[in-house]
Structure 1
Amino acid sequence: MTDDVASEIAVEQAHVDRVHEELEKAGHRADVVQAEGLARGHIAKSAEVGMEEAAGLFERDALMFHAAKRRTALDTQYEGLVFGRLDLDHAMLREAAARANGHGGSGGAAGTEDAGGTDDAGGANGSGERQARPDDREVRYIGRLGVRDDDYEPLVIDWRAPAASAFYRATPAQPMGVLRRRVLRSRGATVIGIEDDLMVPEPPDDLVIVGDGALMAALTRTRGERMRDIVATIQAHQDEAIRASARGVTEITGGPGTGKTVVALHRAAYLLYSERRRFESGGILVVGPSGAYTAYIERVLPSLGEDSVTLRALGDVIDAMHAERLDPPEVARLKGSTRIRPLLSAAARGRVPGAPTELRVMVAGRAVRLEARALDRVRSQVLRQHQRNAATAVAQAALGEAAWASLGVTGERDAKAEFIDKWEDHLDVESFMEQWWPQVDPREVLLWLADPELVRRHARGAFSPADAELLAGSFTTALETGTWSVADVALVDDLAGRVGPVKEKEAEERGFYEIEEFDDLTQYGVTEVQPVNRPEREDTSHTRSADPRERLLAGRIGKPDDYAHVLVDEAQDLSPMQWRMIGLRGRTASWTVVGDAAQASWPDPDEATTAREEAYGRQVRQLFHMDTNYRNAREIFDYAAEVVRREVPDADIPQAVRETGIHPVEGSLGEDPMGSVREAVLHLLGEVDGSVAVITPSSYAARLAPLSELAHDGVDGRVQVVDPMSTKGLEYDATVVVDPREIVRESPGGVRVLYVALTRAAHRMTVLSAQEQEFARAR
């Protein structure tokens, strides 16, 4: 962490500390109001309630309600209370208002409630840009709820208030008086990070800019008018995408480093603010490629309400499942293709493994025997029109009809009615149904396919024997490790739609003389003494269990949520089955979709495109293309572009606008890979101030993992050891790319995934090959 960043964090921490002090005072005030409410309207039980007493009771109830509501707000909003800051220049607002009035319009002054006169404050900086005077500036902090000090001055503005609108609506093209927009990341009451967006071509000299905003400022300051024009063009084009119509499908494309992700996330924030009722009630789903990615973007897209924005990695789309493990490429292709759907359908409709294959029972004095073929026929008949878990009663009734038909009795209507009546309540029939037609978790159905013979039987020629072995082996791996793969989640989602939610068994009625356990005494007028503000316990049952199968089946899978807007980043990586999964959650949604085909890890773009179009439906489309790379130094990006063009000649290659004069370093892993990588990392730690990533294929991951604990000059936490797929959407100050050939070999997208790895570094990159000369020639 640089001194400037540490100093800025200290400034924000001081303000957050002050806010929390006021929060404590507000809590005490709420307690006082609650105590006063309890004192109001105190009436003896035997007293008759008159008008005066009734008024006292009403005052008491009102005070208690508002005190409890305020206390709940204070308690629940404590985490990440302050998440934003605006540095405003009122002279800019006055100038915007003057221009708008001069042209007879109001668009330029939208949201400028502070616009007053037309006088120009501040002088020129020699380049035609006005420098804001300190006395023209205002700082506004944005948070989950409003907080004022003892003088009733605002310390935090509620994000829903009009005065906070510029935090979501300001862009470089329409800054709304904002010089700098800052996002604060906190853990509890501690500020752990900041990220700035620069809203003006050149900031005042005393305004420190951190993050991508700092990059924009550096580009502008170091390159003069030409670079300022380029940056303004980038920002204007990004602004168009951010403010595009909320209807239909908005696609944002572009190569690495073009800011696609940041634009998409700011678009989500803008939509949520500009059409709050629609998107806050319907919700926005943000889907990214990995858990590391969703953790990273939380700093770009601040929390905007309790349930407004849902962040999900592809392995976390289903609430009861969490998956990070990646299948080998050949298995991932089988699971991701829609060719697997007939196999899933057959498994969902098939026999439950271990279920009885024959029914023998005496009903109404008649011996019933149904063989496996008759049972299969009943099951097939019921599942044509019903989900398995919702059809237990239907299946039992259909089985009763089949049982009566098997007796060969005709013309005895009363006898059949008696038989069916006995059948419905027969204990032996109920016992049989529990084994033959149990409630089935969709994850169980997938685990049935760990049997290669079952896969071959259900696949019906859709997969070769070798493919069947690969699929069965992957589910065996799940059972052995207690972990799902990311591709499994979409399969479970498909199966959940086929079998339906698991129905909980109804509680048995108690007999008259049975002793009840008083779990809840409130229904009997007894109030238990309980501690106040108990934190909710996190469900860790899936981590506590030592049994892998129990971990796989922990929790309950319910119906998928339906969202008002769906944002998909790294869309080129989604398999057709994953597109079906996301599409199910966006049936009535508008979409923002971000991607770059040259970075795709899914090998069949045509099949993925078909599934994507099905997810979109017939909605209108609008396309925005980002063509300027301002993340990577030109020397790094030229190296990466040369690699990807070898196999993807039509790759979308943006223009890198920043030069450092420092080219990537190529080296050899040699006989001691750990030593070679460690040496490269230590060198880079001395070259850059920020993060260094070791991007490694799985074959080296275990050996290189200790490097994540490597410290430099007493500072640790700067080194990350990460696999190529988990770097998607992320960036680092410097990277060490380990064994490019092995990355290509083990990755589902081959050289496209290597291209991702080679475009993660902003300033420095070292490439270490097992066979240096061969890789250089291949490039």
Structure 2
Amino acid sequence: MPSPRHTPPSSPASELAAEQAYLQRARAELARMREHTLSLQADGGDAVAGEVLAHTLWLRARALQDDPRTTLFFGRLDTDTPERLYIGRRHVTDGDGDPVVLDWRAGVSTAFYRASPAEPMGVVRRRRFGVEQGQLTAFEDELITGGEGADGEGADGEGDGTPGGSEILAREIERPRIGPMRDIVATIQPEQDEIVRADVSTTICVQGAPGTGKTAVGLHRAAWLLYAYRDRLSRTGVLVVGPNRAFLEHVGAVLPSLGEITVRHTTVEELVAHGQVRAVDPPAIARLKGEARMAEVLRTVVWSHVRPATEALVVPRGARRWRVPAYEVQDILDELRGRGVRYAAARAMLPHRLAHAVLVAMERAGDAPDDAVQDSVARSAPVRAYVKALWPELKPQAVLHRVLSSGERLAVDQRDMVWDTPSRAPGSARWSAADLVLLDELTDLLGRTPSLGHVVLDEAQDLSPMQLRAVGRRASTGSLTVLGDIAQGTTPWATGSWEESLAHLGKDLGADGVHLEVLDRGFRVPATVIEYAARLLPLMAPGLGAPRSVRSHPGRLDVLGVDDAVAGAVDAAARAARQEGSVGVIVPDAWVPDVGAALTAAGVEHEVLDGEHAEERILPVHLVPATVAKGLEFDQVVVVEPAAIAAAEPDTRSGLRRLYVVLTRAVSGLTVVHAEPLPGPLAGEE
């Protein structure tokens, strides 16, 4: 049974002490659970089963490891029954199996996030705890039923713009960001919780403005699905796909902090790594190779290898020669092509279909062949040679080499364009990143790509149609959580609509089980910063509403005109580094060496996030190329030379979108340093 009610101590201080004592009890019970798991013997009956069981027990013990930097619970519900429910990051029980802490993902925990006076869900009081370094420092009560008011250390306020009027909730949201992204289990809002707890069969696309928590929502949905559908998803798997390694390193600690350590994190480039990238396409060629019509081109090329039957199949067997006429063979070919199976699967069926036709001829002649005879005919040299001539075995690299070498022409921008012909044989061709996506498409055309149970795709608006197809086939029999912001699309092929993107992912927006959700309440970006960045929206994303910041603190915005942008960036970074939290110095990609050298010369220790390598991010100051900033967050952000950041993109719209992204990385304060004139909408105020 959950913890029974007891008479509260007479003062807030003594009650806080009682809650801290309960936390110590919960930690002791978690340690007991882990010790019990470690004591179990991995005896599975044989070596393989024993190894599997040992691995399962190891995973269980790792999931039960306590993190002294945080608490096992962050909230409490007093219900209209004699029960008190503590809500935390994982389920903790006592020696009798009764719950001490309830997992935030449990059904009964839903009320912690959604209960309101209009819909109390059986809750009388909701308590939130303030936490510092693993200790409870305050509590705050919200009466859901039975009256108004609050009590406790740091009682909640009203009408201050914070979510639910909660000071503790506001402090948690605005806590300085040092290190990787944290989980948000203590601050999930009702509209976020509805997305998190969506059924496993549902594909959800989340259009989320900067700071609305869409990435965290997607990760928490993965954690909830693994809790609610453990058996199913442990077999089929869950995958998180992000834009680059820096982003994945930033978010990689969230799921392990929630006890989920088996989820794989990858980028689209790693997902389709059928070889090394050793060539770079010009932007127009890369865009062409990423268009959806390439899928039809590749499909046509693959199936064009199946040749028409012009000669009969003749199979000698003993003293007889059995013959299958060409028209009958053609019927078999047409039937296999029309079944909707992959090229290689249909090819594997062909020998058996031909052997069956031979057996039918034998039976007509009065023989009585059995299955062994059919298998023998299917494996015979004449049948193998005949199949090879009509339906050759294909390799993805050879097919793509043929496509790129054959002078295939496609209309682009109302003119024809031909890609460069590979100068080497298929086995040693220098593939580009776009070529690897095409190889992934070909691999699926030849043999079906296995589907996972659920895929979380972040920054989806930046993927080409062919990249979206590559991700979608990994969830062909599963579901997706698609996260992004149309206004942050910065690639030449950025998504124009979520309906289009979902179609490329293999999901039909509007169909049962496919929904679009909009998050527009910003919890990360302060109001002054988001309002400044939103000046760009009318030019780069007409019709898209501006996000609303619900932060209690308006944040800081400084726009500094300087003579030397590099020197100005160093000064701004040095000032920001003296404040609490992380600092991101976001610069045009080409400026990274110069700014890095200037920071070093000024004694400002920093790390460079290059997007390709996961950094430990030990130092508080990070030098970030503008193209890597998407998805990251820092307490203090210094944006250097906005005009140069925008000009580095191939067109004005993409440049403004890139600028919108980098301006919205700040959690507390933003400093814009510029020597050149600011792009139009930003030039209104200095």
Checking the alignment, whether the CA contact within 8 Å between 2:255 and 2:261 is kept in structure 1 is no
Question: In the TM superposition, what is the alpha-carbon distance from 1:82 to its structure 2 partner?
Answer: 2.6
Correspondence 1:662 to 2:556: yes
3-state SS of paired residue (1:750): helix
In 2, the alpha carbon distance for the partners of 1:616 and 1:562 equals 15
Whichever structure has more helix as a proportion of its residues is 1
Correspondence 1:97 to 2:80: yes
In 2, the alpha carbon distance for the partners of 1:649 and 1:588 equals 35
Which residue matches 2:251?
Answer: 297
**Cα RMSD for the two superposed structures:** 5.9
Checking the alignment, whether the CA contact within 8 Å between 2:451 and 2:478 is kept in structure 1 is no
3-state SS of paired residue (1:643): helix
3-state SS of paired residue (2:80): helix
Cα 1:489/1:388, change in 2 over 3 Å: same
- Cα deviations by residue, 1:126-151 (Å, 9 ceiling, x for unpaired): xxxxxxxxxxxx796737xx898xxx
Q: TM-score, normalised by structure 1?
A: 0.56
3-state SS of paired residue (1:560): coil
Correspondence 1:582 to 2:468: no
In 1, the alpha carbon distance for the partners of 2:563 and 2:301 equals 47
- Cα deviations by residue, 1:640-688 (Å, 9 ceiling, x for unpaired): 1113333334232112244446323334573xx65443333222111x3
Correspondence 1:341 to 2:295: yes
3-state SS of paired residue (2:619): coil
Cα 1:773/1:235, change in 2 over 3 Å: closer
* Paired-residue identity, %: 27
3-state SS of paired residue (2:90): strand
Correspondence 1:612 to 2:492: no
Which residue matches 1:733?
Answer: 635
Amino acid at match of 1:491: L
Shifted more, 749-758 versus 62-71: the winner is 62-71
Q: 1:751 is matched with which residue: 643, 656, 659?
A: 656
Q: 2:528 is matched with which residue: 618, 629, 635?
A: 635
3-state SS of paired residue (1:264): helix
Correspondence 1:458 to 2:441: no
Question: In the TM superposition, what is the alpha-carbon distance from 1:757 to its structure 2 partner?
Answer: 1.1
3-state SS of paired residue (2:557): coil
Mapping for residues 187-226 of structure 1, pairs under 5 Å: 205=153, 217=167, 220=170
- Cα deviations by residue, 1:75-130 (Å, 9 ceiling, x for unpaired): 3445454367433666x42xx225xxxxxxxxxxxxx9647xxxxxxxxxxxxxxx
Question: In the TM superposition, what is the alpha-carbon distance from 1:568 to its structure 2 partner?
Answer: 3.1
In 1, the alpha carbon distance for the partners of 2:135 and 2:108 equals 15
Which residue matches 2:321?
Answer: none
Question: In the TM superposition, what is the alpha-carbon distance from 1:490 to its structure 2 partner?
Answer: 3.6
Which residue matches 1:173?
Answer: 114
Mapping for residues 416-431 of structure 1, pairs under 5 Å: 425=381
Correspondence 1:763 to 2:654: no
In 2, the alpha carbon distance for the partners of 1:439 and 1:66 equals 38
Which residue matches 1:723?
Answer: 625
In 2, the alpha carbon distance for the partners of 1:447 and 1:720 equals 42
Cα 1:97/1:147, change in 2 over 3 Å: closer
Cα 1:310/1:604, change in 2 over 3 Å: closer
Gaps of 5+ in 2: 1-22, 117-122, 143-149, 156-161, 174-185, 307-314, 317-329, 355-375, 608-616
In 2, the alpha carbon distance for the partners of 1:445 and 1:166 equals 51
Mapping for residues 317-466 of structure 1, pairs under 5 Å: 317-318=271-272, 329-345=283-299, 348=302, 389=344, 425=381, 440=395, 442-443=396-397, 445-446=399-400, 453-454=405-406, 457-459=407-409
In 2, the alpha carbon distance for the partners of 1:572 and 1:396 equals 45
Checking the alignment, whether the CA contact within 8 Å between 1:667 and 1:769 is kept in structure 2 is yes
In 2, the alpha carbon distance for the partners of 1:605 and 1:702 equals 32
Amino acid at match of 1:293: F
Checking the alignment, whether the CA contact within 8 Å between 2:521 and 2:550 is kept in structure 1 is yes
3-state SS of paired residue (1:592): strand
Which residue matches 1:257?
Answer: 211
Question: In the TM superposition, what is the alpha-carbon distance from 1:293 to its structure 2 partner?
Answer: 2.8
In 1, the alpha carbon distance for the partners of 2:48 and 2:296 equals 56
Question: In the TM superposition, what is the alpha-carbon distance from 1:195 to its structure 2 partner?
Answer: 14
Checking the alignment, whether the CA contact within 8 Å between 1:346 and 1:458 is kept in structure 2 is no
3-state SS of paired residue (1:458): coil
Which residue matches 1:530?
Answer: none
Q: 1:267 is matched with which residue: 209, 215, 221?
A: 221
Amino acid at match of 1:695: I
In 2, the alpha carbon distance for the partners of 1:708 and 1:448 equals 50
In 2, the alpha carbon distance for the partners of 1:691 and 1:624 equals 31
In 1, the alpha carbon distance for the partners of 2:280 and 2:267 equals 13
Question: In the TM superposition, what is the alpha-carbon distance from 1:270 to its structure 2 partner?
Answer: 3.1
In 2, the alpha carbon distance for the partners of 1:398 and 1:284 equals 38
Cα 1:774/1:751, change in 2 over 3 Å: closer
Correspondence 1:568 to 2:429: no
Question: In the TM superposition, what is the alpha-carbon distance from 1:174 to its structure 2 partner?
Answer: 3.9
Correspondence 1:82 to 2:76: no
Q: 1:689 is matched with which residue: 576, 580, 583?
A: 580
Larger radius of gyration: 1
Amino acid at match of 2:499: T
3-state SS of paired residue (1:664): strand
Shifted more, 726-735 versus 742-751: the winner is 742-751
Cα 1:88/1:332, change in 2 over 3 Å: same
In 2, the alpha carbon distance for the partners of 1:167 and 1:666 equals 51
Checking the alignment, whether the CA contact within 8 Å between 1:183 and 1:300 is kept in structure 2 is no
Checking the alignment, whether the CA contact within 8 Å between 1:241 and 1:263 is kept in structure 2 is yes
Checking the alignment, whether the CA contact within 8 Å between 1:158 and 1:164 is kept in structure 2 is no
In 1, the alpha carbon distance for the partners of 2:619 and 2:58 equals 32
Cα 1:732/1:15, change in 2 over 3 Å: farther
Q: TM-score, normalised by structure 2?
A: 0.62
Q: 1:650 is matched with which residue: 540, 543, 549?
A: 543
In 2, the alpha carbon distance for the partners of 1:200 and 1:745 equals 51
In 1, the alpha carbon distance for the partners of 2:115 and 2:450 equals 38
Gaps of 5+ in 1: 1-11, 35-60, 99-111, 116-137, 185-190, 224-231, 353-362, 365-376, 400-419, 502-558
Question: In the TM superposition, what is the alpha-carbon distance from 1:64 to its structure 2 partner?
Answer: 11
Checking the alignment, whether the CA contact within 8 Å between 1:681 and 1:692 is kept in structure 2 is yes
Q: 1:701 is matched with which residue: 584, 592, 607?
A: 592
Q: 1:499 is matched with which residue: 446, 449, 454?
A: 446
Cα 1:648/1:194, change in 2 over 3 Å: farther
Cα 1:69/1:329, change in 2 over 3 Å: closer
- Cα deviations by residue, 1:512-557 (Å, 9 ceiling, x for unpaired): xxxxxxxxxxxxxxxxxxxxxxxxxxxxxxxxxxxxxxxxxxxxxx
- Cα deviations by residue, 1:216-274 (Å, 9 ceiling, x for unpaired): 74675799xxxxxxxx9993333343345555443433321122232333333334434
- Cα deviations by residue, 1:352-381 (Å, 9 ceiling, x for unpaired): 9xxxxxxxxxx99xxxxxxxxxxxx9xx99
Mapping for residues 99-248 of structure 1, pairs under 5 Å: 114=84, 142=90, 152=95, 165=106, 169=110, 171-174=112-115, 179=127, 205=153, 217=167, 220=170, 235-244=189-198, 247-248=201-202
Checking the alignment, whether the CA contact within 8 Å between 1:695 and 1:721 is kept in structure 2 is yes
Question: In the TM superposition, what is the alpha-carbon distance from 1:173 to its structure 2 partner?
Answer: 2.6
Checking the alignment, whether the CA contact within 8 Å between 1:632 and 1:762 is kept in structure 2 is yes
In 2, the alpha carbon distance for the partners of 1:573 and 1:195 equals 42
In 2, the alpha carbon distance for the partners of 1:448 and 1:277 equals 44
Checking the alignment, whether the CA contact within 8 Å between 1:328 and 1:746 is kept in structure 2 is no
Cα 1:713/1:293, change in 2 over 3 Å: closer
- Cα deviations by residue, 1:693-750 (Å, 9 ceiling, x for unpaired): 2323332234445689875599952222333343323211122223333433444633
In 1, the alpha carbon distance for the partners of 2:229 and 2:666 equals 37
In 1, the alpha carbon distance for the partners of 2:583 and 2:483 equals 26
Aligned residue pairs total: 559
